[in-house]
Chain A
Amino acid sequence: MSSSLSNRPRQAGSPQWLAFSLGALLSLVATELLLRPVFREQTMNEAGYEIFTPGTTSRGFLEGFALSRWTAHGARGSGVPTNGVAPIMIVGDSFVEARQVEDAELISARLQETLCSNSIPNGVISLGHSGDSMAEYVRDAPLVQGWFQPTWTVVVLDRGDFSEAMDPARSAHFVQEGASGGELVLKTRPPHRAMAGRLGALYYGLLNHSSLCKLAWIRTHALLKWWKTEPPLFNASTHATAPKGGEPPPRPPTGAQLQALKNAYHGRLTILYRSPDCAPGARACQEPLDLQVEQEARALGISFVSLADSYPAALARGEMPTGFPNTAPFVGHWNRVGHRIAAEAVAPELIRLHKEHGLF
C-alpha cells in the first residue's frame, strides 16, 4: 500500500475553495454545452398555449435520441403541404408530438407515403401537444381548423383521455351539468397567464436559453413525483400488500365526450384508439371501457380504428412498438415501429373512406 494514503483531510483556505468553486462553475458551463443539442425553445402561440417555436429543432435525450423539427403553429415535421390539396391533420398528445422519433418516421410521414402510393395526394400534418386530452382537442378544434383547413382529422386517443377530460384542475375540462346523463359543458381557463410579465420573461428566458435549466426543470419534476411515491411511515409493509380498496372511480361519460369531439370536427374525423397498451402479458387485454368507447363511436357514426389487434400482431413478429434503447422495452411513447404500426392501421380506413365516400 502506498504511503501517500492519507487518513485526515487537510485544512483548506479561501483561495482553494475559490478555485474549487470556479471548477464547479466550469463543469456547469461544460454540461450546458454538452446538452446544447437538446435545446428546446418554447413559446406561446396566439391562443396563449405553449408550443415549440416554429423553425427550431430539438434533440431527444430522455427517450430516444431523435431530432425533431417544428413548423408553423407548433406542427411537427415538414409543415403544411403546399400542393394546394387540403391536408389531413393528426391531433393528439405527446404520442403525436413524438419527440422520440425522427420527422421521417412520424405517423404522419408514414401515412402520407401510404396515401400517396394509393393516389391520394393529401399531405398529412402532425399536431401533437404533450399532456393534452379530449377537452383540449375539443377546445382547440376551431383554432387548428382555422390554421390548417384540414379535409379530415385523425384524433389519437387512449382510455385515459376520457377521465383526464373530467379533471377540474386542467385548464380545459368537461363538466356534466345536473345529474348523471346531464349535458356536457366545456370549461376553459386562460392558460399560462400567470407567467406573463417579468416573471414569465425570466421563466422563458431561463428555460429557452439554457438546456441545463430546462432539463433540471424536467428532472426536478420527475424526482418530486418519485419521492411522493414513498410508502407511509410505520406502515410500509401493510401499504405494499394491502389490496386497493374503496369505490372504483366513476366511469367518465364517454358517449357525450365523443359527441362533443364529433361536433367540434364537424363529423370529419377518425379516432385512432391506442388502448390497451402494447406491453406483453396481462396488460395487453381490453377493458370494458375500451369496448364501450368503440361501440359508442360506431353508434355515433365516427370512423374508428383500434390498435388492440395491431399490437399483439407486432409482438408475434418480434417487434416492439414502444420503448427505446435509452429507456426500457415496452414503456413510454411509440418508437419508429409504433408509428409505423399506427400508420399501417389507420391507412386502410382512410383509403376506404376515400374510395367509398370520396371524402378527400
Chain B
Amino acid sequence: MVFSSPRFLLFLVVTLLVLGLLPGRDPRKRFLALASLFFYAAWDWRYVGLLLLISVIDYYTAWRISVSESPSVRRRWLAVSIVSNLGVLGYFKYCNFFIATLGPLLASAGLPIPHLEILLPAGISFYTFKTMSYTIDVYRGELAPCRSWLDYATFITFFPELIAGPIVRASVFLPQLDRTPGPTRDRCVQGLSLFLMGLFKKLVIADRMALVVDPVFACPAVYSGPSLWCATAAYTLQIYCDFSGYSDMAIGVARMIGYDLPENFNMPYASGSLTEFWRRWHMTLSSWLRDYLYIPLGGNRHGAWRTYRNLALTMLLGGLWHGASWNFVLWGGLHGAGLAVHRLYRERVGRGFALPWPLGWALTLGFVMVAWVPFRAGSISDTALCLSRMFGLAQVGGVTFLPFWLPVCGVVVIAAHALGAGLKTSPDRGEPGLIERGLRSLGMAARRDPIAGVCLVFDRPTFAGGVGAGLFLLTGFLLAATNTNPFIYFQF
C-alpha cells in the first residue's frame, strides 16, 4: 500500500478509529502490531514470516547479551545477530550482484553459477538496520533490552516507517510505547498537516519531475547536453521531494497514531558544504552509518589518512546499501571522496579561510547534482554517456527538451528551504519575527519537537489560512501527476 493510494487512506482511517476506541495501552499495542503486519502483508504476504523471524532472532540475541556477564559470550551473541541480519540482507539484496560480478570469473574456472530468481522483500534494508542498531545498543550497554517481544515486534513492524524509514532507533521508539496516549485531536491535526505537505511534495513535485526524468534517463543517447542537465536538475528535485515527502507522510501518520519519529531531512539543498549536506540529508541513515560504521572503524581518532579512509569506506558501503549496483558504489565513492576533500581543505588548505557561503553552497549543490547522475542512470556506461554530454565532451546533438515545470518546482523548493532556514535561524527575541507573523496570519505555527525537529502545523482557522489552504489543495488537485510512481526509496 503506497501512502498516496486510496487503499492506504482507508486503512489509516480504520486504524485510527480502532486505536481511538480501544481502551488501554496493551490492546492498542497489540492492534498496532497486527495492523502493521497487515500493512506489510498487503504488499506480499510471503515475507511477513521473514520479518517476524528477524524480530525473534534479535529479541532473543539481545536478551542473551543482556543476561551474560562474559564478554566473549556477549560478543558471540552479537555476532549471531549481525551475521543473521547481514546474511538475510546479503542473500536477498546482493546475491545476484555478486553472481553477476564474479560469474564470469567462476565460469572461466568451470564453476558456472546461475542467476537466482530472488524477490527483494520491501523495506529489508531499513528494518535490518533497525534491528542491528538495537542489539548493538544493548551490547554497548546503552539500552536496556526490551522486556516484551510484543513491544519489540511493534517497534520492528511499525508501519509508518517500515518500508522506507526514517530509521528509528529503539531508544527513541520503545519508551513511547509506554506513554503514548493514542490518537488525539491535536495529534491528528498536526499529523494530517504533515501528511498533506508530504503528499504535495510527492504528487505535485516529485511525480511531475519523474515525467521528465524517466524518459530521459531511459534513453540518454537520444538527448542533448542541455536536456541531460535539465533531467539531472529535475532528478535533484524529484529525489528530495519523493523521499522527504515520504518521510513527512511517515512522520505525520506516526503522529496521528500517537508516536514521534525522528526528522529525516533538514533543508539539505541549503547546505554550505558536503559535510553539512550529510548532516541534513537522510539524517537517520547518516547518523546510523556514523554511529555503527564510521566510529567503530576508528572515526577521526587515528590520524588524517585513516580518517579519510574511514570516510571513503563508510560512504562506499552507504552507497552499496542503496542498491546492488556499481552505480551506487560509484555514487557513494564520489561522496566519500568529496567528504575527504572537504575535510582536507578545512583542516589543511583552507585553515583560517572559510569559503563564502554562496560559493560553498553553489559548489556543494553542483557536486550533489552531478553525483545524482550515477545514482539515477541505468548503468556505468549510461553514466559516462550522460556526463560526457553534459560537460560537452561528446558529440553535440540529440533532442533538446526543456521542461516547463522544472523552474517552477525549483522555485517552490528554494522558497521552502528559505522559509525553513528563516524559521530555524531566527533569533529568540521574545517577539515573533516576520516569518512567524506571516505563518500566524495563515493560521500556521512552527512546532518544535524534541524528536521530529521543527515542522509547520495547522494552528487555528483564519481568513488568510482559508485562502492558503484552498489554493494549496486546489494546486495539489489540479497539478498532481497521475503517473503511477512508487516512492524511490521503496526499491532500497
- A residues with CB within 8 A of B: 1-12, 16-17, 19-28, 30-31, 212, 215-216, 219, 222-223, 225-227, 229-230, 233-238, 241, 279-281, 315, 318-320, 323-331
Partner among B42, B399, B468 whose Cβ is within 8 Å of the Cβ of A318: B399
Q: Are B463 and A325 in contact (CB under 8 A)?
A: no
**B484 surroundings in chain A (CB, below 8 A):** 226, 229
Partner among B42, B211, B403, B467 whose Cβ is within 8 Å of the Cβ of A233: B42
If A23-B468, A26-B466, A328-B212 are given as contacts, then 16 extra A-B residue pairs at C-beta distance below 8 Å, sorted by A number, are A4-B440, A5-B454, A7-B447, A9-B189, A19-B463, A22-B466, A23-B462, A23-B464, A31-B470, A233-B7, A234-B42, A237-B119, A320-B401, A328-B403, A329-B223, A329-B401
Q: How far is the CB of B3 from chain A (nearest CB, A)?
A: 12
Q: Are A318 and B478 in contact (CB under 8 A)?
A: no
**A10 surroundings in chain B (CB, below 8 A):** 459-460
CA distance A27 to B446 in the complex (A): 23
Is B324 close to A, CB under 8 A?
no
Against A, the Cβ 8 Å flags (1 = close, 0 = not) of B418-431 are 00000110111111
Q: How far is the CB of A277 from chain B (nearest CB, A)?
A: 13
Q: Are B222 and A222 in contact (CB under 8 A)?
A: no
**B305 surroundings in chain A (CB, below 8 A):** none
**A26 surroundings in chain B (CB, below 8 A):** 466-467, 470
Q: Are A8 and B399 in contact (CB under 8 A)?
A: no
CA distance A255 to B190 in the complex (A): 63
Among the stretches B95-103, B130-138, B213-221, B294-302, the one at the interface with A is B213-221
Q: A234-B42, A281-B218, A318-B397 are in contact. Are A22 and B463 (CB under 8 A)?
A: yes
Q: Are A20 and B482 in contact (CB under 8 A)?
A: no
Q: Are A2 and B426 in contact (CB under 8 A)?
A: yes
Interface members, chain B 41-90 (any A CB < 8 Å): 41-45
Is B398 close to A, CB under 8 A?
yes
Q: How far is the CB of A340 from chain B (nearest CB, A)?
A: 15
Interface members, chain B 221-237 (any A CB < 8 Å): 222-224, 227
Partner among A2, A24, A325 whose Cβ is within 8 Å of the Cβ of B403: A325
Q: A23-B463, A281-B218, A318-B224 are in contact. Are A227 and B5 (CB under 8 A)?
A: yes
Q: Are B445 and A6 in contact (CB under 8 A)?
A: yes
Q: Are A216 and B477 in contact (CB under 8 A)?
A: yes
**A23 surroundings in chain B (CB, below 8 A):** 462-470
**B431 surroundings in chain A (CB, below 8 A):** 4
The 8 A-B residue pairs with the shortest CB-CB distance in the complex, in nearest-first order: A23-B466, A27-B470, A20-B461, A325-B404, A20-B466, A4-B432, A24-B470, A328-B211
**A323 surroundings in chain B (CB, below 8 A):** 401
Nearest-neighbor residue (CB-CB) of A325 within chain B: B404
Q: Are B446 and A5 in contact (CB under 8 A)?
A: yes
Q: Are A9 and B432 in contact (CB under 8 A)?
A: no
Q: Are B399 and A9 in contact (CB under 8 A)?
A: no
Is B175 close to A, CB under 8 A?
no
Q: A12-B460, A226-B484 are in contact. Are A5 and B211 (CB under 8 A)?
A: no
Q: Are B445 and A30 in contact (CB under 8 A)?
A: no
Partner among A4, A30, A328 whose Cβ is within 8 Å of the Cβ of B436: A4
Q: Are B482 and A222 in contact (CB under 8 A)?
A: yes
CA distance A235 to B43 in the complex (A): 6
Q: Are B6 and A227 in contact (CB under 8 A)?
A: yes
Q: A5-B446, A5-B448 are in contact. Are A315 and B222 (CB under 8 A)?
A: yes
**A328 surroundings in chain B (CB, below 8 A):** 211-212, 214-215, 403
Nearest-neighbor residue (CB-CB) of A237 within chain B: B44
Against A, the Cβ 8 Å flags (1 = close, 0 = not) of B172-213 are 000000000000001001100000000000000000000110
**A330 surroundings in chain B (CB, below 8 A):** 215
Q: A23-B463, A27-B467, A329-B401 are in contact. Are A280 and B430 (CB under 8 A)?
A: no
CA distance A20 to B449 in the complex (A): 27
Q: Are A280 and B222 in contact (CB under 8 A)?
A: yes
Is B380 close to A, CB under 8 A?
no
Is B402 close to A, CB under 8 A?
yes
Against A, the Cβ 8 Å flags (1 = close, 0 = not) of B469-484 are 1110010011010111
**A320 surroundings in chain B (CB, below 8 A):** 399, 401
Nearest-neighbor residue (CB-CB) of B432 within chain A: A4
Q: A20-B443, A238-B44 are in contact. Are A281 and B219 (CB under 8 A)?
A: yes
Could you jot down 12 A-B contacts, CB within 8 Å? A1-B428, A4-B431, A5-B446, A16-B461, A20-B462, A23-B464, A31-B470, A31-B478, A315-B399, A325-B403, A325-B404, A328-B211
CA distance A16 to B462 in the complex (A): 6
Q: Are A1 and B454 in contact (CB under 8 A)?
A: yes
Is B129 close to A, CB under 8 A?
no
Q: How far is the CB of B61 from chain A (nearest CB, A)?
A: 29
Is B457 close to A, CB under 8 A?
yes
CA distance A343 to B492 in the complex (A): 47
Q: How far is the CB of B44 from chain A (nearest CB, A)?
A: 4
Is B381 close to A, CB under 8 A?
no
Q: How far is the CB of A302 from chain B (nearest CB, A)?
A: 33
Is B345 close to A, CB under 8 A?
no
Nearest-neighbor residue (CB-CB) of B433 within chain A: A2
**A9 surroundings in chain B (CB, below 8 A):** 186, 189-190, 445, 457-460
Q: Are A19 and B446 in contact (CB under 8 A)?
A: no
Q: How far is the CB of B18 from chain A (nearest CB, A)?
A: 19
CA distance A95 to B189 in the complex (A): 46
Nearest-neighbor residue (CB-CB) of A19 within chain B: B463
Partner among B216, B436, B474 whose Cβ is within 8 Å of the Cβ of A28: B474
Is B388 close to A, CB under 8 A?
no
**A4 surroundings in chain B (CB, below 8 A):** 431-433, 436, 440, 445-446
Is B405 close to A, CB under 8 A?
yes
Q: A241-B119, A329-B212, A331-B215 are in contact. Are A3 and B428 (CB under 8 A)?
A: yes
Q: How far is the CB of B460 from chain A (nearest CB, A)?
A: 5
**B122 surroundings in chain A (CB, below 8 A):** 237
**A219 surroundings in chain B (CB, below 8 A):** 477-478, 480
CA distance A20 to B467 in the complex (A): 7
Nearest-neighbor residue (CB-CB) of B440 within chain A: A4
Nearest-neighbor residue (CB-CB) of B227 within chain A: A329
Partner among A5, A212, A234 whose Cβ is within 8 Å of the Cβ of B445: A5
Q: A3-B430, A329-B212 are in contact. Are A27 and B119 (CB under 8 A)?
A: no
Q: How far is the CB of A21 from chain B (nearest CB, A)?
A: 6
CA distance A59 to B477 in the complex (A): 19
Q: How far is the CB of B116 from chain A (nearest CB, A)?
A: 14
Is B379 close to A, CB under 8 A?
no
Nearest-neighbor residue (CB-CB) of A15 within chain B: B461
**A235 surroundings in chain B (CB, below 8 A):** 44-45
Q: How far is the CB of A238 from chain B (nearest CB, A)?
A: 7
Is B400 close to A, CB under 8 A?
yes
